[in-house]
Amino acid sequence: MQFFTQPKRYDDVTTLSNEDLICYCVEVDKKSIVEAIKKGASTLKAIKEATAACTGNECARKNPNKRCCSKEIKQLIELYA
């Protein structure tokens, strides 16, 4: 039996596990953001307030995408809100 897994693409949240980081600056994982969304956080501002994600300033250095994580957070909102 062979198992095929989709490779991780850090700009596509559907390829990431719950334990994968979304915000590298303050180390917030996908699961934490999804939980915040399920509790009612449905905007980037609300996610920031609930998890502190997207509040750091080291994106270019720490994030594999070399930019802010807001795009990935917005993807999660679209998927789970």
Any idea where the domains of the chain sit in the sequence?
Answer: 14-80
Helix boundaries (H) for the chain: 30-38, 44-51, 59-62, 70-80
- Buried b / exposed e over 11-20, threshold 16 CB at 10 Å, is eebeebeeee
Confidence of residue 74 (pLDDT cuts 50, 70, 90): very high
Quick check: 81 pLDDT over 60? yes
Q: Quick one: DSSP state of residue 5?
A: -
Residues 20 and 27: their CA atoms lie apart, in Å, by: 9
Confidence of residue 79 (pLDDT cuts 50, 70, 90): very high
Residues 43 and 77: their CA atoms lie apart, in Å, by: 7
The two three-digit tokens of residue 50, written as one number? 């609930």
Q: Look up the CATH superfamily of 14-80.
A: BFD-like [2Fe-2S]-binding domain (1.10.10.1100)
Per-residue pLDDT tens for 4-51?
566 788 889 999 999 999 999 999 999 999 999 999 999 999 999 999
**pTM as predicted:** 0.90
